[in-house]
Structure 1
Amino acid sequence: MQERWNTQNRNRDLWLRPGDSVLEVFLTLCAQLTTHTACFDEFLGALSYTEMHQAVIALAIKISQYPEQCVGIMMPSSIGAYIAYFAVLLSGKTPVMINWSQGLREIRICAEITNVQRVLTSVRLMEHLNQTHGILDYPFDLVYIEEMRKKISWWEKIRIKMYTKLSPARLMWVFGVKGMRKHDIAVILFTSGTEQFPKGVPLSHENLIENQKACLKFFNPNEKDVMMSFLPPFHAYGFNSCSLFPLLIGLPIVFASNPLNPKKSVELIDSMGVTLMGSTPIFFDYILKTAKKQETSLSSLRLVVLGGDTLKDSLRVETQLQHPHITLHQGYGATECSPVITITTETSPKVQACVGKQIEGMDILIISKETHVPVSSGESGMVAVRGSSVFSGYLQGDPHQGFILLGGEYWYLTGDIGYIGASGDLFLLGRLSRFVKIGGEMVSLEALECILRESLPGALMQEQITLAVCEVPEDKVKLCLFTTFPTTLHEVNDVLKNAETSNIVKISYVHQVEKIPLLGVGKPDYASLHALAISLFG
């Protein structure tokens, strides 16, 4: 397999082929690259574009028999997940990415919003989930792609061979999707539900492709590059930027199914010669610590773009010291923006709050929280964006929810607070929902967490997330600190006092938990923590 991977990945043009839809671009690529290796995972090995093409057609024949419009996909980062995705598109259905890391209540909401009745999944994932979460009563039928493959009839095998020889346009005509256009829905994702119930986010083919075009200019891959993807497909960054992007430009991609298994990720980086990677900061930190234990230099890795959370200065310094050959950049985005909004450049200030300049096709405006009018240069306010990558509105409810009308055009409000610096880069101060007003002052809960994380003895030198601060709604705002280690109110508030925070900022409650609940992408589940704080102290 390694020989095949190394010898058939060269002499290919890395660019986005023309097409109105993600499906058309993919089918065109399959027709051009044929025997070139497209991807690898530890279960299926290396697949060529022709092999992927055949698998997509085989699955699409089965899926096209479903009467419902929306078909769910609940799979980890893997070849199978994206075969399923393209197959759902080819069958004329709408792919819906299900986040299995959420609670059953949130999954039910997602299924109701989209009327999903069937979800494509894998035996391995369900065995893993049954072991870790117990057997859950999902609100839809589970369809195992391993079983679907076994049930392909001899007549269907003949059809697959015939269809594989058709041109992209002819194949789309056969499946009745020749009329697929750029404004049609290419995928339905969901907001993370970090602070409230998840919302359905329909992204069009144009949204995804335009975001990929901007990422292509930034990554500027060459024929020696190999990309790794381990973020789950329900995560916008993992889905579009880390997986669809390489698949649609002809860049070889290595899938790792579990971001919580950094040992496997390190092994694949070294054995497959991975050069490019997208990650969240916490998962990349796991990889660095594992590489250090295994005494490997990750010598092939040249560029890592982190998103989904703040790149802390300590992680940047650690990367520079351990692996000076790795260029580290930070991106900022939102599911609603397909997802990339900004990426740091070589000239961007190397500070924690800086998330870089807007990508091509994206405009950023900073507006006042109170008056909703643009602020002066350098002033902070709500971050609003517009562009070809921005979605058209949430499923159900008010189509303009989350947007603001300025100068006759709708801008999407990201929910973040920030400002544009003198360099033209965007600096983020935190989520609007993670600010609370205490004594007339706006206090960032993220800033408090940062202070406590760097000063409380129990939080120092820990690999896992060890604390989180939540608001407890009462007549007067009170703050609750959750920790995974023993501490006291006196110790906590002494740390805040020594950090010279405002005298009115104090923690009112401390509660030790076994672990901080996390979302599937490694960020704290503040919705669960908020509910726990209310039940304990509300």
Structure 2
Amino acid sequence: MGSFILGRRIAAASQGQPQVGVLLPNAAGTLVTLFGLYAYGRVPAMLNFSTGATNMAAACSAAQISTIVTSRRFIEMAEMEETLKIVSEGRRIIHLEDLRQSLTLGDKLYGLWARNFAKTALRLAGATRDARTPAAILFTSGSEGVPKGVVLSHRNLNANRYQAAARIAFTAQDIVFNALPMFHAFGLTGGSLLPVLAGVRTFFYPSPLHYKVVPELCYDTNATILFGTDTFLMGYARNAHPYDFFNLRMVVAGAERVKPETREIWMEKFGLRILEGYGATECSPVIAVNTPMHFKTGTVGRLLDQVQYRLEPVEGITEGGRLFVKGPNVMLGYLRADNPGVLEAPPDGWYDTGDIVSVDDREFVTILGRAKRFSKIAGEMVSLSSVESKVQAAFPDQQAAVVAVPDAKKGEQLVLFTTDAKLERKTLSDALKAAGATELMIPKTIIAVKELPVLGSGKTDYVSLNRMAREQVKP
């Protein structure tokens, strides 16, 4: 009922505009807004407010967004007044509070009628019947470059939730706790559409960064399923009482690699095994996932049903190959800020993940690194992810990230960012060599930071780290 009423008002304010920007936190009202836009044939473009005003403005240009739906209370709480001022230039802003205050008895009667005669209401409202038309525009996290608009169809989203549901067993007794933002594909499909459309009770919380509050709310809501990223799950584990997650039966992680120490603390403190999955925004997002029945340590799970794959060789890398995937969950295409409104479809439906992986005979996927996360030092390929893993294992109480910058002698050199202000290169070198690292894998420069920059998705912000490294390290 609320979706019909809200959608009708937004549609009236955005006539002739197929895309509508959505700048809202993770809340039930956001989901109502999405369904309202769907009812009236609009495509929600989920703006990633963690990327800042410049990237959001670029996203609006790429998707040709002229109207943005937001909330005054959200903007005030997030202290985004200046950001909204920049993003709103040349665009109309609709505040949900204004729409609520302007509702009339006629709106409410319409909503009541539409709820009882939903099929007729949807047909008259102009809801699409073509599953291959756009259903959402998400934007890549920008962890390694400028964010791109990813256009996902109704077929993409529904195929992926059914693919995931075929592996992860939900029941009517489950309660899902989702603090992941809906501007992220994991939060939208996995944490929102999958449980809600399956009839599973879902509790939304606006920020995954409240490490003390989330565990307490999981306890209060009797949550049985929790979605998160490695960064967030480690934060919860460090701040939670051992009984906060007493009712959890499943913890599903994605978006970034789950570190061994995160797995260990969840098992030791809560007796829970983290089920790691793998995906990409362009794949709606799930590509593979571990499950209680099909689990293999060190992998990100088995490929989902109907996901085809191929591995292409990469020069200098002997194990695995570059992963390409194809299936009903693969996006319609990209939208770019330098070519607004033009959809760039993946060639022949194949999406290049940019990841170097190996796949065994049971289709369990092991991530070896990203193609962009390899550095060529003195003619040898070095995995930055592998170096990070060894550093993290040697110094588990500290955060670490490794990037590569130009080097006059060897082509590139490694730079380590760490929260350990006292770490010296000799100590680092001895620890890495003891872990089996070669000389080329030892970072040449160490930069201490109070904390690593992260994106709203929980991923490490490598764009910022690369910029910081280039500013502080001479070739």
Write out aligned runs for 1:389-428 (5 A): 389-396=329-336, 403=347, 409-428=348-367
CA distances 1:169-225 after superposition (whole Å, capped 9, x unpaired) = 201122122x43100000000111100001110000000001111111222222211
Structure 1 Cα separation of the partners of residues 60 and 382 of structure 2: 36
Q: Does the 8 A contact of 1:348 with 1:423 survive in 2?
A: no
1:337 aligns with 2:283: yes
1:309 aligns with 2:256: yes
1:504, CA displacement in angstroms? 2.9
Structure 1 Cα separation of the partners of residues 81 and 425 of structure 2: 34
1:357 aligns with 2:357: no
1:148, CA displacement in angstroms? 1.3
Structure 1 Cα separation of the partners of residues 235 and 366 of structure 2: 26
Q: Does the 8 A contact of 1:276 with 1:303 survive in 2?
A: yes
Q: Does the 8 A contact of 2:53 with 2:84 survive in 1?
A: no
SS where residue 473 of structure 1 aligns? strand
Identify the residue that residue 326 of structure 2 maps to in structure 1: 386
1:175 aligns with 2:121: no
1:348, CA displacement in angstroms? 5.1
Structure 2 Cα separation of the partners of residues 537 and 220 of structure 1: 50
1:134, CA displacement in angstroms? 7.3
Identify the residue that residue 176 of structure 2 maps to in structure 1: 227
Q: Does the 8 A contact of 1:208 with 1:240 survive in 2?
A: yes
Distance change in 2, residues 1:266/1:349 (3 Å): closer
Write out aligned runs for 1:431-442 (5 A): 431-442=370-381
Q: Which moved more, 1:495-504 or 1:208-217?
A: 495-504
Structure 2 Cα separation of the partners of residues 349 and 231 of structure 1: 24
Structure 1 Cα separation of the partners of residues 426 and 267 of structure 2: 37
Write out aligned runs for 1:249-268 (5 A): 249-268=198-217
Structure 2 Cα separation of the partners of residues 106 and 131 of structure 1: 14
Q: Does the 8 A contact of 2:419 with 2:450 survive in 1?
A: yes
SS where residue 143 of structure 1 aligns? strand
Distance change in 2, residues 1:491/1:422 (3 Å): same
Equivalent of residue 90 in structure 1, options 39, 43, 65:
39
TM-score (norm 2): 0.91
Identify the residue that residue 58 of structure 1 maps to in structure 2: 5
CA distances 1:333-377 after superposition (whole Å, capped 9, x unpaired) = 00010111111144656433x011111121222221249xxx9xx
Identify the residue that residue 159 of structure 1 maps to in structure 2: 110
Structure 2 Cα separation of the partners of residues 452 and 333 of structure 1: 25
CA distances 1:252-282 after superposition (whole Å, capped 9, x unpaired) = 1111111111333222222222112221122
Q: Does the 8 A contact of 2:358 with 2:365 survive in 1?
A: yes
Distance change in 2, residues 1:131/1:346 (3 Å): closer
Structure 2 Cα separation of the partners of residues 343 and 155 of structure 1: 47
Distance change in 2, residues 1:262/1:133 (3 Å): farther
SS where residue 101 of structure 1 aligns? helix
Q: Does the 8 A contact of 1:214 with 1:360 survive in 2?
A: yes
Q: Does the 8 A contact of 1:438 with 1:505 survive in 2?
A: no
Identify the residue that residue 195 of structure 1 maps to in structure 2: 144
SS where residue 218 of structure 1 aligns? coil
Q: Does the 8 A contact of 1:182 with 1:205 survive in 2?
A: yes
Identify the residue that residue 270 of structure 2 maps to in structure 1: 323
Q: Does the 8 A contact of 2:53 with 2:83 survive in 1?
A: no
Equivalent of residue 418 in structure 2, options 483, 486, 507:
483
Distance change in 2, residues 1:132/1:282 (3 Å): farther
Distance change in 2, residues 1:385/1:304 (3 Å): same
Q: Which moved more, 1:225-234 or 1:272-281?
A: 272-281
Structure 2 Cα separation of the partners of residues 304 and 158 of structure 1: 42
Q: Please tell me the residue identity of whatever aligns with 1:392.
A: L
Q: Does the 8 A contact of 1:472 with 1:530 survive in 2?
A: yes
Identify the residue that residue 473 of structure 1 maps to in structure 2: 406
RMSD of aligned C-alpha atoms? 2.4
SS where residue 394 of structure 1 aligns? strand
Identify the residue that residue 118 of structure 1 maps to in structure 2: 67
Structure 1 Cα separation of the partners of residues 137 and 84 of structure 2: 26
Distance change in 2, residues 1:484/1:128 (3 Å): farther
Q: Does the 8 A contact of 1:313 with 1:351 survive in 2?
A: no
Structure 1 Cα separation of the partners of residues 450 and 300 of structure 2: 33
Q: Does the 8 A contact of 2:374 with 2:382 survive in 1?
A: yes
Structure 2 Cα separation of the partners of residues 109 and 131 of structure 1: 17
Q: Which moved more, 1:261-270 or 1:391-400?
A: 391-400
Q: Does the 8 A contact of 1:366 with 1:383 survive in 2?
A: yes
Structure 2 Cα separation of the partners of residues 433 and 287 of structure 1: 30
Structure 2 Cα separation of the partners of residues 363 and 185 of structure 1: 22
Q: Please tell me the residue identity of whatever aligns with 2:412.
A: V
Structure 2 Cα separation of the partners of residues 269 and 339 of structure 1: 25
1:497, CA displacement in angstroms? 3.2
SS where residue 74 of structure 2 aligns? helix
Structure 2 Cα separation of the partners of residues 144 and 59 of structure 1: 11
Structure 1 Cα separation of the partners of residues 315 and 132 of structure 2: 34
Q: Does the 8 A contact of 2:173 with 2:200 survive in 1?
A: no
1:479, CA displacement in angstroms? 1.8
1:146 aligns with 2:97: yes
Structure 2 Cα separation of the partners of residues 304 and 477 of structure 1: 39
Equivalent of residue 287 in structure 1, options 227, 236, 242:
236
1:248 aligns with 2:193: no
Structure 2 Cα separation of the partners of residues 132 and 310 of structure 1: 34
Q: Does the 8 A contact of 1:379 with 1:420 survive in 2?
A: no
CA distances 1:491-531 after superposition (whole Å, capped 9, x unpaired) = 33333333332223342322223322110022111011112
Structure 2 Cα separation of the partners of residues 345 and 251 of structure 1: 18
Structure 2 Cα separation of the partners of residues 308 and 209 of structure 1: 20
Q: Does the 8 A contact of 2:27 with 2:204 survive in 1?
A: yes
Structure 2 regions of 5+ residues with no counterpart? Answer: none
1:415, CA displacement in angstroms? 0.7
Structure 2 Cα separation of the partners of residues 508 and 208 of structure 1: 44
1:447 aligns with 2:386: yes
CA distances 1:25-64 after superposition (whole Å, capped 9, x unpaired) = xxxxxxxxxxxxxxxxxxxxxxxxxxxxx21111111111
Identify the residue that residue 207 of structure 1 maps to in structure 2: 156
Q: Which moved more, 1:97-106 or 1:447-456?
A: 447-456
Q: Does the 8 A contact of 2:255 with 2:458 survive in 1?
A: no
